[in-house]
Amino acid sequence: MIIRSKAPLRLGFAGGGTDVSPYSELFGGAILNATINMFAYATIEPRDDGRIVFNSVDRMQRLELATSDALEINGELDILKGVYNRVRAESACSPLSFELTTYVDAPPGSGLGSSSTLVVAILGAFAAWLRLPLGEYDIAHLAWEIERQDLAMAGGKQDQYSAAFGGFNFMEFTAGDKVIVNPLRIKQDSLNELEFNILLYHMGTSRLSSTIIESQVENIANKEAAALEATHRLKEQSLMMKESILKGKFDDIGEILNYGWKHKKAIATGITNPLIDEIYESAIASGATGGKVSGAGGGGFMMLYCPKNTRYRVVEALQRFGGEFRRFKFEKHGNQSWCL
């Protein structure tokens, strides 16, 4: 028996950072994001020898352990261990013996929500194997608890929900960990135009998002005026972006991205740096009307909006920076699991 699962990575269009506590509890957050055809994969192969094998292919790490009620969290493939620990505790099952193989299409620190998406994919595989009655909200919330509570990883809430639900979503975050996912109905012509106009550019650098997010959390908790005002503007940006996409106002999207990027940089240190600024300014000078660094910032993927046929000039202008352009399509499905 083989159990497989995959969950899609996401692009954050607007509102990023408003899903992070304590802002979401104090003021309510709002985010617009969309999943793309890049995935986190998980495969479970049951064993009967009392061993657990973790095999992270993209990280080139393999770990073999004796099965246990709870595996030690010690810096070695902790995400995989954390999911196992919570699944075993929540399902009250006996210690399990299996091999878990994982792979993510984007490198760590890419800004596409890879860690959270991987947690969702692993949970989906366990749910299919153990026949756990978990819906999209259940898996997303459980993934958030594993990362933020069990493993004490800094971050927000959007990534887990985008991976579980898939598609274009407007998400609302309120006190008490309440999340409302509002799927957006977007015409295929509009999706095609967005795919054509958006360039996804990997800058060849990664970043540790937790450091940036911890600085953001501290600024909000201390009610630092500039960071607080900037986060309010990002929530406003999510509403602006939702209206523009739903109404097909494509000429406004770049300007709205630029508006958000300007305010995003005021939330915390480390979101941008001289190289990021130079890449962004070169793209704007070549015809892009806006963009942003995906995720917390600091490196990884940059999303650039290039209307009409300006994408070709932007691609040419950024060649000198040595990064990589990644073609993508929007993905309408969230986490999917199946058994062989």
State how far the alpha carbon of 50 is from the alpha carbons of 53, 64, 69, 82, in Å.
10, 11, 12, 19
> Exactly one of 48, 69, 78, 159 is catalytic; which is it?
159
Number of Cα atoms under 13 Å in the Cβ half of residue 257: 28
Q: Which residues contact 39 (CB under 8 A, 6 or more apart)?
A: 6, 7, 8, 9, 104, 105, 117, 121
- Specify which residues 174 forms β-bridges with: 178
Q: What percent of the chain has pLDDT over 70?
A: 98
- Residue extent(s) of CATH 3.30.70.890 domains in the chain: 188-325
Structure tokens at 85: 């620990």
Q: Which residues contact 127 (CB under 8 A, 6 or more apart)?
A: 134, 139, 337
* Among 163, 227, 171, 144, residue whose Cα is nearest residue 28: 171
| 271, 212 Cβ separation under 8 angstroms | yes
Among 44-48, 108-112, 271-275, 335-339, whose mean pLDDT is lowest?
108-112
Region of residue 177 (left: phi > 0; alpha: psi -120 to 50; beta: else)? left
* Per-residue model confidence as pLDDT tens digits over 286-321: 999 999 998 877 789 999 999 999 999 999 999 999
Region of residue 337 (left: phi > 0; alpha: psi -120 to 50; beta: else)? beta
pLDDT at residue 206, rounded to an integer:
64
- Specify which residues 35 forms β-bridges with: 10
Average pLDDT taken over every residue of the chain:
94
Give yes or no for a cis peptide into 22 (omega within 30° of 0). Answer: yes
pLDDT band at 59 (very low <50, low <70, confident <90, very high): very high
pLDDT at residue 61, rounded to an integer:
96
CATH code for the domain defined by 3-185: 3.30.230.10
* Among 174, 240, 226, 209, residue whose Cα is nearest residue 21: 174
Query: Alpha-carbon distance 147 to 142, whole Å?
Result: 9
Q: What percent of the chain has pLDDT over 90?
A: 83
- Please confirm, yes or no, whether 159 is among the known catalytic residues: yes
Mean pLDDT of 142-157: 94
Residue 53: its H or E element: strand 51-56
* Per-residue model confidence as pLDDT tens digits over 173-206: 987 779 999 999 999 999 999 999 999 999 987 6
- Residue 207, pLDDT > 70, answer no
- Residue extent(s) of CATH 3.30.230.10 domains in the chain: 3-185
- Rounded to two decimals, the pTM is 0.95
User: Could you say which architecture CATH assigns to the domain 188-325?
Assistant: 2-Layer Sandwich (3.30)
- Neighbour tally for 238: CB within 10 Å: 24
Mean pLDDT of 25-46: 97
